[in-house]
Amino acid sequence: LGIYGCSAREALAKWGAKAYDCARFTKAVLEGLALGLGLRVEVELLRPPRRAGRGEESCRWRLKVLGEA
């Protein structure tokens, strides 16, 4: 799963939240989304979050479905 032109990351930088742990938060969001869909997943960060323009990949994740929640 690639996230392109991450608006959340841009907003956090604009607000001065430089120490924000984007990767940890995004992993928790992806796990929560899967749980809401009734799935257990393993979430792996493949490409760390970076500042990217619109249309450019900000980060990349792998979600492996382990079964039903």
Q: Domain residues of the chain, as ranges?
A: 2-68
β-pairing, 39-47 vs 57-68, is antiparallel
pLDDT tier for residue 19 given thresholds of 50, 70 and 90: confident
Backbone dihedral angles phi then psi of residue 63, each to the nearest 5 degrees: -115, 120
**pTM for the whole structure:** 0.81
Highest mean pLDDT of the ranges 7-11, 23-27, 64-68: 64-68
Question: What does the DSSP 8-state code read for residue 54?
Answer: T
